Amino acid sequence: MAWVGDMPAPSDRSAAGGVYSVRHHFNVRIPMRDGITLSADIYRPDAPGRFPVVLARTPYNKNSQRAWHYGNFFAKHGYVFVWMDVRGRGDSEGEFVPYRNDARDGYDAIEWLARQPWSTGDVATWGGSYLGRIQWLTALEKPPHLKAMIVHVTPSDPYVEWPTGTPGPMHVCWNRMTDGRVLQYVDKIDWMKVYEHLPLLTMDEAAGFASRHWREDCAHPTLDEWWEPLRYQHRFHEIDLPVLHVSGWYDDEQIGTPLNFAGMVRHAPSERARRGQKLIMGPWGHRVNESRKLGEVDFGPEAVIDLDGYEVRWLDYWLKGIDNGIGEEPPVRLFIMGANRWRDEHEWPLARTKWTKFYLRSGGRANSRFGDGVLSTEPPATDEPPDVYLYDPARPVPFITDPLSSQIGGPDDYSAIETRGDVLVYSTPPLERDVEVTGPVKLVLYASSSAVDTDFMAKLVDVHPNGFCQRLCDGMVRARFREGMHKEVLMEPGKVYRFEIDLWNTAQVFKAGHRIRLEIASSAFPKYDRNLNTGEPLATSTRMVVAENRVWHTPAWPSHLILPIIPE
């Protein structure tokens, strides 16, 4: 097979290049069941006959340079592409309430488009982030003419990405950006100062506006019925559709995409749907396939691919019935960082994974990268002293990020932050050979605290020989939610508890001479809000206490990192 941009070359005329000119129909009013109308821009092949439809619904303005590019691209390749403003945004009528109306509106839009004289009746949905989650919510409504979905960088269910009982502080930036009917200018607000504001409930006021949506979300710290309309990841057994899943290892909502792919492969109701899942994970942030570089890291010339062409091939297979071979290709396509190359796989996680425990070891002085913390495949044989640090919410450990919510973090250098005494650091010796870590990463942590509630953060880092400490992935647990997000259970001070921390996923070759490193702290600000350590209500409390936190590594409490090692 020939290859273009390290993706399969198109095998039919439609995917190889646009053959249609395009007709444009702007501000078309599409009626919803309650009588309001939503506004859509429709890009149609300028030719007689009927064509499949691709629908994207957005709160970010359907009339943009990005919309023009994709609308014309897909129309030139034989699809009617429809950009629609969601309810209450842009030119659409109604009130914008994030996610709450999008499932029913999506159903109505799909069925209206299927009835149009230029439509074959086959509709796919497309888009990322907000546009991705509302595809899943719409699919649960089972519109008869929905045939496939292309979902990029899709948010998970509430409290999967941010298991804190609160919206992430940086979400208030998104609330401001989507305040009103059009995108708001947010660049010059001092967001870092805003994120420091307490209580969390009035952070919107600190940013200069009032957000009912922010405050309603803050009022529901547990996974109660309020959140049910936003959940879909426990209902894959109801979604009988082929889905193309796309994300990047540095997407700040990355955890959802591999979960969704694996969940659909296991639980979709038909063999056709289970076999119709495809996963693409690149070296990208929330804006996929945009650049070969993120921060200081250059992932090489293969990092940017012909993703648009691949999506056309995929749609041709499912909506036009073109036997272009895509159904027989491996379902998983991964970019392996460090090696900087793409690789096909047959499942996620990989069947040949060697789940390897790396035990946290020290003489009780793992504080900072100058301490004695070690990652070892040998468990502790004796009672090693715990590693102790003070977590002060007034002086949180920084999470390196731009202040806007459009991209949270990247392959940043944490060497300076690792000099802090409230960051525990555990490292392997320099590696004698390359080691590939591809898959979900988990930490089993035995810890205690002087406080009734605190946080534990964990970060996987690739330490380069020149001292560059490249963040790969991270995660956290809030102690009061250690038994799940459905209830709050405070700790008994001094008691040792077992915590499991999901560090999300990565695909990294640690090169010979590099070191594998784990960081542990009790804050990662402003990615997560600060735990004030008091056990008081999260949204309204302002009182802080300093917590003395201990990480244990003994035969009875063997804290360990579980890495998905891929054999050569």
Show which residues are catalytic: 129, 251, 286
Burial of 115 (0-12, 13-18, 19+ CB in 10 A): exposed
Tell me how far apart the alpha carbons of residues 227 and 159 are, in angstroms, rounded to a whole number.
10
Length of the chain: 568
Number of H helices, E strands in the chain: 11, 25
Kindly provide the b/e burial profile for residues 438-459, where b requires at least 16 CB atoms within 10 angstroms of the residue's own CB.
bbbbbbbbbbbbbbbbbbbbbb
Task: For residue 6, give every residue at least 6 positions away whose Cβ sits within 8 Å of its Cβ, in sequence order, or none.
Answer: 302, 305, 342
Angle, helices 65-76 vs 307-319, to 10°: value is 50
Tell me how far apart the alpha carbons of residues 390 and 471 are, in angstroms, rounded to a whole number.
23
Taking Cα atoms as reference points, which of 29, 171, 44, 47 lies closest to residue 99?
171
Tell me how far apart the alpha carbons of residues 263 and 259 are, in angstroms, rounded to a whole number.
6
Q: Could you tell me the CA-to-CA distances from 182 to 90, 92, 135, 463, 557 in Å, in that order? A: 5, 11, 22, 43, 53
| Residue found by looking up tokens 């444009």 in the block | 24
Between strands 435-449 and 560-566, the pairing is antiparallel
User: What DSSP assignment string belongs to 356-408?
Assistant: EEEEEE-SS--BSTTS--EEESSPPSS-PPPEEEEE-TTSPPB----SSTT--
Taking Cα atoms as reference points, which of 62, 50, 57, 32 lies closest to residue 124?
57
Give the CA angle between residues 506, 508, 512 to the nearest 5°. Answer: 150
Taking Cα atoms as reference points, which of 377, 563, 546 lies closest to residue 462?
563
Instruction: Look up residue 14 and give its two tokens.
Output: 């439609």
Taking Cα atoms as reference points, which of 350, 342, 346 lies closest to residue 3?
342
Taking Cα atoms as reference points, which of 525, 295, 294, 286 lies closest to residue 407?
286
| Residue found by looking up tokens 């008869």 in the block | 144
Provide the sign of the torsion angle of the four alpha carbons 534, 539, 542, 547, taken in this order: positive
